[in-house]
Chain A
C-alpha cells in the first residue's frame, strides 16, 4: 500500500478516494468527475445526453507515476480513473457558529448583526450539522453585517483616517486580505481591492465609510466565508 502511494502520488490518492465516494454518493456535488443532471434519469422528459465536462481548472495535469494493471478483460485499471487534481474542491462554507469569532479575529470586534443572523447562515439546530450555502439575499445580509463591523473598525483605526491612496490601499488591502483569508492574496486580488478603494469609491467623502466598503468587500468574499 505504501509503495502505491509513493508511486502514484497525490492524484492517485484523490482518484481512489473518488472511486469510493463516487460509488456511494454520486449525487454529492463534490464527488469527482461530477455529472450533471443529464445522466440522472435517462428516461425523464427532456433528458440530455452526455455528462458535464470536467473544468480545466480541476483537471489533474501532472501525469501520475505509477504502475499499470491489466484486468481480466484486458482493459487497464487506471483507464477508468476519474480525473481531478489534488487540492481542489475542498472549500467549505464556514458554519454560523464560528462567524462571530471570525469577525473578532479579523476586526477585533463582533458586529451586533451577526448575533441574530443564524437564518442567514442556515444555522442548524443543536446537535445537528448541515453545511450552509448562500443566496443573493444572504450575501446581501453578510455584506451588511460585515459593513457594520468594518465601519466600527475603520473609525477606530487612526491609520484609516484619510481617504485611501494607491499606497495606503495596497498596504491595507494586503494586510486585511492576509488576515481575513489566512493566506497571502495574489497580485490580481490586491489590485481588485485597490481599484475599489481608490477609483470606484472615489466619490465617497467619508474616509471611514470608504474603508468600510473595502473591508466589507473582503469579508464578503468566498475566501473569508469558507475554510
Chain B
C-alpha cells in the first residue's frame, strides 16, 4: 500500500506541478537575447573582504537520503539503499556521496563540502494539513519568524529583493512574515523579473524608471487606507510596492543575457519556468541582476521526495532518489545537471561569497521510513570539507546533534555575517 501510495503520489504531483505552475515562473520569449540590466540590482551584504554575500537553499520536500549528503559509506554494509562500493565516491575528509549524482559536482564544490547534521526532532512532513509540525517547518521557521528572511536581514545590503523563493508554494506552506522590514517574496514569473530588471532593452513605449517609481509610490499611498483595513490579504502589497519602487531606483547591474542563461541551463529556448532547471537559472538571475541575498528553491509537489517504496523488504529510497535526481526511471527533469551548472558558475564567482545548502525535510531510515533530522550539504568558498554530526549506519543522529538554529549559525558563519545572529556556530567546518 505504501509503495502504491508513494508511486501514485509522485506521478500525481508531477501532473499537479505542471498544472499549478502553468504560466508561472515564465521567462519570456520576448526576453530572449535581452539584456538583463536593471533596477532590481542593489548592493548585497558585504563580507569583511568586500565580497557580496548570497545564500541559496535548495530543498527537497519529503526527504533527502543521507547517502547523497555525505554519508554514503555508512550504508555500504548490507548494501542499504542500493549503496555499493562501486556506486559511491569518496570525496575526502570522511565525506562519501553517490557517484553518479552529487559525485559529479565540480572539484571546487567537492573541496568545500561540509555535511551538516540537523536534528530537528520531527519525523513528520510539513503539509497544508500539518502546518504546525514537520521537518520543513522545523528547518525554516524560527518561532514567529522565518530563518530565510531573518538571515537576509542580518546579511545587510540594500537589494530591492533581499529574500525570494521559487516553487509552487510558500516555504513551509505559509506566507512567512517579514522580519525587520525584509519580506520573503515569491518570484513567480521570470519574464517579469527580466522586465523589471530592464531586460528588454530600450523600448520607447515602456515606462521610464523614475516616473514609474513615482507613480507606484502614488499607487501605494492611495492604497494605504484599503490595505490598512484589509490586512488579511493585502498586507503583502505594501512590501510589493516598496520593493518595486526600490528596484526602479537601483543602478544598472552588469548585463546578463537570456541567451547566456538559456544555453547554460539547457532551457531549450523555452521561456516558461516550470522546471527545476529554470529555478536554478532564476537563482543565478536574481543574484547577478538583483543582488538578492537569500533564495529558497523548493522542489515542486507535495512531499514529492517521500519514497517509501520497498522491494523484498529493502528500501528503494536510494534508487528512486537517484532516478529523480537524474530524470530517469519515469521521472521527468534532470535535477542534478542544473545544480551542477549553478554551482559551477556561481560558487566561486569573484567578488561574491555564494553559499549553497542542499537539504531535505528528513533523512531516510534503512527501512525507508522517516528519520528525525536532516543532513545538509553546505558548499562555499569559506567552507571546509568534512562531516559535522553525521548520521550512523541506521541513519540516526547523535543526541548531541545541534538543531536547526545550529545549522543557520553555520550558514551565517560561512556567509561571514557580522556577529552571531543565530548563536555560536556549533559546526567547526567554516574557515
Please give the residue numbers on chain A whose beta carbons come within 8 Å of chain B beta carbons, in ascending order: 27-31, 34, 36-38, 40-41, 44-48, 55, 57-58, 88-93, 116-120, 122-125, 128, 130-131, 133-141, 143-144, 147-148, 151, 177, 185-186, 188-189, 192-193, 195-196, 200-201, 204, 209, 212-214, 216-218, 220-223, 225-226
Shortest CB distance A194–B (Å): 10
**B243 to A, closest residue via Cβ:** A136
CB pair B226–A29 under 8 Å, yes or no, is no
Bound together, the chains give a CA A192 to CA B229 distance in angstroms of: 19
Give the residues from 11 to 37 in chain B that come closer than 8 angstroms, CB to CB, to chain A.
Answer: 19-20, 22-26, 28
Which residues of A have CB within 8 Å of B352? Answer: none
Known: A91-B226, A136-B247. A141 touches B216 (CB 8 A): no
Count chain B CB atoms within 10 A of each CB in A124, A148, A217 and give the residue with the most: A217
CB pair B218–A193 under 8 Å, yes or no, is yes
Bound together, the chains give a CA A140 to CA B232 distance in angstroms of: 22
Does B91 interact with chain A (Cβ within 8 Å)?
no
3 closest cross-chain pairs (CB), A and B: A136-B243, A119-B189, A118-B23
Contact of B228 among A45, A55, A141 (CB under 8 A): A55
**A51 to B, closest residue via Cβ:** B144
Which residues of B have CB within 8 Å of A143? Answer: 207, 212, 215-216, 219, 244
- Other than A29-B231, A57-B228, A119-B24, give 14 A-B pairs with Cβ distance below 8 A: A34-B232, A41-B132, A41-B143, A88-B230, A130-B20, A134-B240, A135-B164, A136-B247, A137-B161, A147-B212, A192-B218, A193-B218, A223-B222, A226-B234
Per-residue interface assignment for chain B, residues 197 to 208, with 1 indicating a CB less than 8 Å from any chain A CB and 0 otherwise: 000000001110
Bound together, the chains give a CA A223 to CA B226 distance in angstroms of: 7
CB pair A144–B195 under 8 Å, yes or no, is yes
Bound together, the chains give a CA A212 to CA B215 distance in angstroms of: 10
CB pair A133–B236 under 8 Å, yes or no, is yes
CB pair B160–A221 under 8 Å, yes or no, is no
CB pair A44–B185 under 8 Å, yes or no, is no
CB pair A91–B206 under 8 Å, yes or no, is no
Per-residue interface assignment for chain B, residues 234 to 257, with 1 indicating a CB less than 8 Å from any chain A CB and 0 otherwise: 101101111110111000000000
CB pair B247–A93 under 8 Å, yes or no, is no
Q: How many A-B residue pairs have CB under 8 A?
A: 234
Shortest CB distance A107–B (Å): 15
Known: A143-B212, A223-B222. A40 touches B144 (CB 8 A): yes
Does B310 interact with chain A (Cβ within 8 Å)?
no
Which residues of A have CB within 8 Å of B240? Answer: 134-136, 138-139
Bound together, the chains give a CA A204 to CA B215 distance in angstroms of: 12
Does B214 interact with chain A (Cβ within 8 Å)?
yes
For this complex, 23 residue pairs linking A to B, each with C-beta atoms less than 8 Å apart, are A29-B175, A38-B144, A41-B132, A45-B403, A48-B144, A88-B230, A91-B226, A91-B230, A91-B233, A117-B192, A119-B23, A119-B24, A119-B188, A134-B240, A136-B239, A136-B243, A140-B195, A147-B207, A185-B222, A196-B215, A216-B215, A220-B216, A226-B234
Bound together, the chains give a CA A27 to CA B133 distance in angstroms of: 13
CB pair A135–B214 under 8 Å, yes or no, is no
Give the residues from 61 to 78 in chain B that come closer than 8 angstroms, CB to CB, to chain A.
Answer: none
Shortest CB distance B167–A (Å): 12
Per-residue interface assignment for chain B, residues 131 to 144, with 1 indicating a CB less than 8 Å from any chain A CB and 0 otherwise: 11100011001111
Does B405 interact with chain A (Cβ within 8 Å)?
yes
Bound together, the chains give a CA A214 to CA B219 distance in angstroms of: 9
Does B221 interact with chain A (Cβ within 8 Å)?
yes
Bound together, the chains give a CA A51 to CA B30 distance in angstroms of: 47
CB pair A222–B234 under 8 Å, yes or no, is yes
Shortest CB distance B162–A (Å): 11
Contact of B214 among A88, A177, A201 (CB under 8 A): A201
CB pair A29–B206 under 8 Å, yes or no, is no
CB pair B192–A222 under 8 Å, yes or no, is no
**A45 to B, closest residue via Cβ:** B405
Contact of B233 among A29, A125, A147 (CB under 8 A): A29
Known: A40-B144, A46-B143, A131-B233. A140 touches B24 (CB 8 A): no
Please give the residue numbers on chain B whose beta carbons come within 8 Å of chain A beta carbons, in ascending order: 19-20, 22-26, 28, 131-133, 137-138, 141-145, 160-161, 164, 174-175, 177, 185-189, 191-193, 195-196, 205-207, 211-212, 214-216, 218-219, 221-223, 225-234, 236-237, 239-244, 246-248, 403-405
Bound together, the chains give a CA A29 to CA B174 distance in angstroms of: 10
CB pair A138–B230 under 8 Å, yes or no, is no
CB pair B206–A147 under 8 Å, yes or no, is yes
Which residues of B have CB within 8 Å of A46? Answer: 142-145, 405
Bound together, the chains give a CA A44 to CA B48 distance in angstroms of: 32
CB pair B404–A45 under 8 Å, yes or no, is yes
Shortest CB distance A121–B (Å): 9
Contact of B141 among A34, A41, A58 (CB under 8 A): A41
Which residues of A have CB within 8 Å of B247? Answer: 136, 140
Bound together, the chains give a CA A67 to CA B160 distance in angstroms of: 53
Bound together, the chains give a CA A185 to CA B175 distance in angstroms of: 31
Contact of A196 among B28, B177, B218, B234 (CB under 8 A): B218
CB pair B20–A128 under 8 Å, yes or no, is yes
CB pair A222–B244 under 8 Å, yes or no, is no
CB pair A141–B192 under 8 Å, yes or no, is yes
Count chain A CB atoms within 10 A of each CB in B164, B212, B244 and give the residue with the most: B244
Bound together, the chains give a CA A92 to CA B73 distance in angstroms of: 53
Shortest CB distance B93–A (Å): 29
CB pair B189–A120 under 8 Å, yes or no, is yes
Known: A137-B187, A138-B192, A140-B248. A186 touches B225 (CB 8 A): yes
CB pair B223–A222 under 8 Å, yes or no, is yes
CB pair B160–A136 under 8 Å, yes or no, is yes
Count chain A CB atoms within 10 A of each CB in B25, B175, B211, B228 and give the residue with the most: B211
CB pair A139–B216 under 8 Å, yes or no, is yes
CB pair A36–B144 under 8 Å, yes or no, is yes
Known: A30-B233, A44-B141, A119-B189. A222 touches B207 (CB 8 A): no
Bound together, the chains give a CA A200 to CA B216 distance in angstroms of: 12
**A27 to B, closest residue via Cβ:** B131
